[in-house]
Amino acid sequence: MYWIPFVAAAYLLFNKSKKLKKKNMANCNKLFLDFNSNLNIPKKKKDKLKDSKEVLRAKIRKHFKDNHPEYKPEFYIQGSYKMGTTILTKDNECDLDDGVYFRRETDVTATTLQKWVKNALDGATSSAVEHRSKCLRVNYQGDYHIDFPVYIFPKDDNDPSLAVKNNGFEMSDPKEVVDWYKTEKAKSLQLNRLVKYLKGWGDHKRNKMPSGLAMTILAANNIQSNDRDDVALKNTLVKIQQTLDDNFECFVPATPGDDLFESYDAIRKNNFLSNLDDFIKDANKALDNEPNQLKASKLWRKHLGLHFPFGEDENTDAKEAALKRISENVLKGTAYSQSSGTISTEPTKVKNKPHTNYGG
């Protein structure tokens, strides 16, 4: 029976070898880093966006000075732009949220205060200003849009209130969200990229997928960091799915602490969960069953859209492993240059000298 330990050891070694081989799948980390860059707003567009913001702020200041001097507007950029998670959509558009604050008690309705801001913005572009529920939207068609939520912020009160069309004022503090996100981002530099990947997924799928804020909260609350972004994203998606299976909710970590999923009907909820499940299945295929980077990239691209780059039509992990073996042989002095220009350990041609230049 002395052979049993040897058989057991051989079995463990065989299974370890199988696991190592299974890990030799398409590494798409570099593609994700390129995807992150592709989601960034180009400098020219960002400069135009900032210039438009200043022009619109000036219009608001002038309008209130001329028509409502007792109301003096102040401004605070909020949302994804402030957090550094704004993305370029598949339509090559982007947005900015610029809060309009009035430090005083109001003597008009929330809707009236919004209309005053709308009157200030009218005529800024060829498109009509949209009077939405919680903001005024100025569209620069095919380029970007700027949203202006309106707040009352009494001088003796630290809690701003957001004007909501036909519904009065409600407690809301976007600065708290930004401060919360800064704290979360400090825990992992990978968070910003994962948030942008989730937002890119939502933009690609659309059909009432969760808002950018919801994606940000889901990423921060469920992040599974990894040296590779493809692995981190898949594991984060799995964690999000597990969390939502327990409780389908997404609470804002700031005033008023509302649940962003509370208003979801069955159709919208099922659409999101179905997209999430499909994404996880393809992410598993890309990471566990597909050694070819091009084929793996197509699986990712199916969910992340045209901004996600195609990979190389090769087994990139195997190629990297081969290059590593060559490097090791050169360092050990066991490498030979063949007539074809390749390097191998076959002692058939010119023996390479051991590499001794380690930089300096």
Consecutive H or E run containing 310? none
Which three-class secondary structure state does DSSP give residue 279?
helix
Cα(67)–Cα(56) distance, integer angstroms: 16
Which element (helix H / strand E) includes 163? strand 161-164
CA distance 338 to 218: 54
Tell me the C-alpha distance between 156 and 243, whole Å: 40
- CA distances (Å), origin 201, targets 96, 204, 336, 344: 19, 5, 48, 44
Evaluated on CA atoms 317, 319, 321, 327, the torsion sign reads negative
Chain-centroid distance, C-alpha 356: 43
Q: List residues bridging with 162 in a β-sheet.
A: 151, 170
Question: Which of 34, 47, 122, 147 does the annotation list as catalytic?
Answer: 147
- Alpha-carbon Rg for the chain, nearest whole angstrom, is 27
- Cα–Cα distance list, 235 to 185, 202, 216, 274, 281 (Å): 18, 17, 16, 17, 12
Q: How far, in Å, CA of 231 to CA of 284, rounded?
A: 9
Q: How far apart are CA 268 and CA 262, in angstroms?
A: 11
Query: Active site residue: 95, 229, 230, 282, which one?
Result: 95
To the query of whether residue 259 is one of the catalytic residues in this protein, the response is no
Active site residue 282: no
Catalytic residues: 95, 97, 147
